[in-house]
Amino acid sequence: MSSTPLALFVGLPNPVLSDDGFALFRETNPLGLFVGRRNQREPAQTKRLIERFREAVGRDDAPVFTDQEGGRVQHLDAGPWPLFRSFGQFAELARRDFELGKRALRLSSQAMGAMMTELGLSSGCSPVLDLVFETTSAVIGARSFGPDPDVIAALGREVVDGLLETGNMPVMKHIPGHGRATLDSHKERPVVDASRETLIATDFKPFVALKDTPWAMVAHVVYSAYDGELPASVSPIMHDVIRNDLGYDGMLISDCIFMESLSGTLPERVSQVLDAGFDIALHSHGDVRETEAAARAARPLTDAALKRIAAGKARLGNLKVDVRAAHRQVEDMFASASVS
């Protein structure tokens, strides 16, 4: 096993790590694991799965991510875990009372972050900073804070800071913006034809405002004003736009390479992401055979990526939160503003 992890996140088909999977991860040393709803049944099982992955790669701090935004995208939605509200609902509260909305979102983010940190989960891949319009694909919907980039930036800040305070890594997505896409990048290749001037003034703006966020997930969306062929996640041009025009110097991980916006075999998709200059390819599905093929196509993390990872870790706090009490307090805030 190489001492430097591969620039790859892997996934699992089941709630347990098989012996074959354990052996593969021990041999290949992927940086991290992505666990979905299918992998998480209850706290003890989730903790054991995470521990077993970290045992396989020989790193107690190996990152383990999930999708935990709130609303319809929360993979901790079984067993004893509380259910959290969507960002769209927090935006509605903020429209009634902006300061109350921010306080409620900060507290909810702290509760969610503390819950994940206690389980051993490193991140819930949140917040979503995409704008939403009448034409936006339903894949975004209530995951967004709305159409106003300044409001998105202000509310997104509460999520980023709340998560960091509890030792959970924020990952802003989907940089540089999925909101103008009218197609679902899980199923098709969206093309955004807005001008550079429009994108800079709108979609890019929340990501620039929160460019100190340690991690960001890159969209599988074509921005024709910059690159008329390739989705951002596999485009060297868009890599340079994110790094230079948006000024983002944190970790850049692709959205899941299984999504149909990309083309080619899974190993080819891993290579495309890394060849474009991004730090990590996300391979969040797959069986042992597919994961092995993806791992063979990956390469060790760069020195720059290792430094970015260390810089992000240095910002994690250790705030302790009574998750259920905080969750109840958030619900009381919604009730006080008569928001259902």
- Which residues make Cβ contacts (< 8 Å) with residue 289, sequence separation at least 6? none
- The active-site residue, picked from 77, 97, 161, 186, is 186
- Residue 174 catalytic? no
E strand spans, 193-279: 215-218, 222-223, 251-256
Nearest partner of 158 among 307, 331, 322, 330, judged by Cα: 330
The answer to whether 327 is a known catalytic residue is no
Residues in the chain: 340
Say how far apart CA 30 and CA 33 lie, in whole Å: 8
Query: What six digits make up the tokens of 175?
Result: 């940089």
Phi-psi region of 338 (alpha: psi -120 to 50; beta: other; left: phi over 0): left
Compute the Cα dihedral for 285, 143, 314, 234 and give only its sign: positive
Sign of CA dihedral 307, 312, 317, 320: negative
Which of 255, 279, 283, 327 is catalytic? The answer is 255
Helix, strand, or coil (residue 251)? strand
CA gap 317, 241 in Å, rounded: 31
What positions carry a catalytic annotation? Answer: 186, 255
